[in-house]
Chains A and B, each alone.
Chain A
């Protein structure tokens, strides 16, 4: 009983302290805010979700737009999280990060016609019109992948290169299709080994599996492996470092994950897409009901060529890749996406 009394006293003191602090707080003036709901992977994946978060931070710094975010679990949480943010009176624009939000964000956008919504990697179906307050942020990953495929096929000494995907899905197939087409285009003799880490979202969070797949491909003769697999790719880099081979990063510039072993990275500017949508909302130029496409032409997807990896890419190879870029942008080359 003495224990109870003690605990009760501590509790009461804490509550009093809490109340005192509450009294100190001033009412803050309301201003427009942004809400964002992350994919199942959540923050800290060093690629996709973190890129979205960078966009939020940039908007806070440059536009003074405050933000709130939620990292939901699977299942019913996504819709609940979107609705919670939409119910918030200050929040004017809500993001869903990842294709898995497609159904939920469409429902919530219809329920809150006065709020604005944006969804990265939305599964766009031209037969189902988007709500007028929702914009789909789509990337032509196959175009960027085509370029890194070209680069890998030009640099390979064994005529074997590899691709490792995360979850088997149409989205990751786009990376694979572009990569293979790019490799074939530059070097018809080049063979491409393909592996996937799994069939669920978990396949994006499994570095052990990534390493296993990469070691397998390297032993079968591949000397460059491109991954599109989120955190799983960290295992691919680990394998590259161990066997002193090359790997290609994805989404963000991943050079610093394994300096010297990262040939380049296929970048997908999720951060810029998020930032631009916020800017448009702030300047009242946000137009929903459509898909915004980020492609090679608009530098929405690209590959990294800078001081860090210049030494790995000879000038003549770089020239050839840039030539390929011009052909894709001009439409001379059509890149397959499946």
Chain B
């Protein structure tokens, strides 16, 4: 009975939050003189009503899974990784560079090499704040943010002056051997949607991370470090090692997000392609309560919001679509807290009832 109630609340919560946020959004839409129903029907039919829309949603979700995992694993270790954006940019650029420069290699070597390049690029951007935190106690929030600026400026320089195609804002193409196939290659109905095999790599990463966090002793130590640093240290856990290791792993995961665009879609690195996926990853992680499997689902949800906002842009201004997105996220966060509190109260009541009986 108890678990059933819990499940009910877990499903009812987000649904209720969605309904409420759409109602509030509807008021905004009505204020600017448009029909809320027309907007919402276009929103849902274009995102979930056909395979192409679903493909677009999954494409948008893929980098968010990586950046969401990058934030979540650091949160689990008690670290705030605000640097996923910079890690993503560096990783993506490394993929584009390796995919072009090592073009003579056959696919069987080149594909893993590109993926490795993305991971290492991002990891380099994660290990620096990790080392600074572990050795000097310098706060990782400031340092990861600063690393974002360095990444952006550095990559801008390379894409504008060193490694670029004239008259564009992107790098030269990677060779076909480094391409990850699009899913429309296997399923014709996805035709045109850029969703590609990196989606499965992202899901694989989420599963691996789940195993790491809950089925290994290292994962246990990591969580212990996050829950209580001093207690963990007292218990003999090398917390500094976990700080460095976790930020490095997080950086690497964020670096892999570039695969989706560079290896699976455009086959080059383009300035500004990330659309802030590094920052949205933080919201994804929080909403999924740092649960790797939850992050996959939350990313898909954010993918729906992002692609949906683009599709309704023909009816309402872009700004309104952004407002809608923000309202939905706010409602879900607030309502999940309200429901949590309600659950605790229910539990207390049932315990009290048992005691009385």
Contacts and interface: CB of A to CB of B under 8 A. Distances in A.
Interface stretch (B18-26, B69-77, B281-289): B18-26
Given A111-B192, A200-B169, A40 B314 contact: no
Contacts of B230: none
B272 A200 contact: yes
Interface in B57-91: 59-60
Given A75-B272, A81-B313, A123-B167, A14 B27 contact: yes
B156 interface: yes
B157 A199 contact: yes
Contacts, number: 108
Contact of A201 (B22, B157, B169, B311): B169
Interface in B150-173: 156-157, 159-161, 166-169
Contact of A200 (B38, B156, B192): B156
B314 to A, nearest CB: 4
Given A84-B46, A84-B314, A74 B35 contact: no
Contacts of A168: 160
B225 interface: no
Contacts of A3: 338
Interface string B27-63: 1000000011110000000100000000010011000
Contact of A18 (B16, B26, B60): B26
Interface in A241-263: none
Nearest to B20: A7
Contacts of B314: 35, 68-70, 84-85, 88
Contacts of B271: 74, 200-201
Nearest to B313: A70
A81 B310 contact: yes
Interface in A1-37: 1, 3-4, 7-8, 10-11, 14-15, 18-19, 21-22, 25, 35
Contacts of A68: 314
Contacts of B20: 7, 11
Nearest to A85: B314
Interface string A157-196: 0000000000011110000000000000000000000000
A83 B167 contact: no
A272 interface: no
Contacts of A8: 16, 19
B318 A71 contact: yes
A74 B310 contact: no
A81 B166 CA distance: 25
A75 B313 contact: no
Nearest to B19: A11
Interface of B: 16, 19-20, 22-23, 26-27, 35-38, 46, 56, 59-60, 156-157, 159-161, 166-169, 192, 194, 261, 265-266, 270-275, 307, 310-311, 313-314, 317-318, 338, 342
Closest 7 A/B residue pairs (Cβ): A199-B160, A74-B272, A75-B273, A11-B23, A68-B314, A71-B318, A170-B167
Given A69-B314, A70-B314, A72-B310, 7 more contacts: A25-B35, A40-B272, A74-B274, A75-B275, A76-B59, A111-B192, A199-B157
Interface of A: 1, 3-4, 7-8, 10-11, 14-15, 18-19, 21-22, 25, 35, 40, 42, 68-77, 79-81, 83-85, 88, 99-100, 102-103, 111, 123, 168-171, 198-201
